Structure 1
Amino acid sequence: MTSTARLTLDPAFLIGPVEPRLFGSFVEHMGRCVHTGIFEPGHPLADADGFRADVLELTRELGVTVVRYPGGNFVSNYRWEDGVGPAELARLDLAWRSLEDNSFGLNEFMAWAARAAGRHW
């Protein structure tokens, strides 16, 4: 038995405008998203706060209107208290079974988000 499907696209067909806030994203402590991604103190392209200027520029080019932090699986056992305090503090991330230091937390995210929006916080 053979099944056939047919799809017709009409680029002139418009239902309505798309809300820009739908084009959101999230920042998760997985892979290189935070460490060696948006935050890499000591990198030649990092500013005084450790934010990578090249990544900030790419973020602006994407036109992301909303960024959620923490995002992804990292949020599954995140407590806001874990994102403030001394950078030396570390905790076990249950989703990835890795030790996460406190060098990038809520204050750093808010400062990064402001810079991504073209402001300083």
Structure 2
Amino acid sequence: MRYFPLSVALATFPLFLAATPLFSPATAQQARPPAFAVCAGCHSTQVGKTAFGPSLHGVSGRRAGTLAGYAYSPALKASGLTWNAKTLDRWLTDPRKTVPGTKMPFNGIQERKAREQVVTYLLTL
């Protein structure tokens, strides 16, 4: 094995740091789980891009029914929900049971593991 003098190692270390990101996009945002496909039909994950449903970018910590530029149901606006792991899980289990009167035409994700993956993904957006 060939060893380099400490001075060479120290001189090249800044180059190594410059070429190595401190975090990759994959750690900043988890990979999109397959179960999210049912969401992607109506929702964008891009900032400000509203589709049939509102953008889900930045949903974590957002009060339900407040994203500007989307016409929410009065029921969702009045729900008092703030999106976090618990409320997203409940919502994705059965939106119409969670907020009676919502206009979201979705029956929910019944498989717990798939729902957890979607919730975890949403919290990274």
TM-score tier, shorter chain, comes to under 0.3
Q: Which structure has greater strand proportion?
A: 1
User: TM-score, normalised to structure 1's length?
Assistant: 0.27
Q: Which has the higher contact order (CA 8 A, sep 6+)?
A: 2
Q: Which structure has greater helix proportion?
A: 2
User: TM-score, normalised to structure 2's length?
Assistant: 0.26
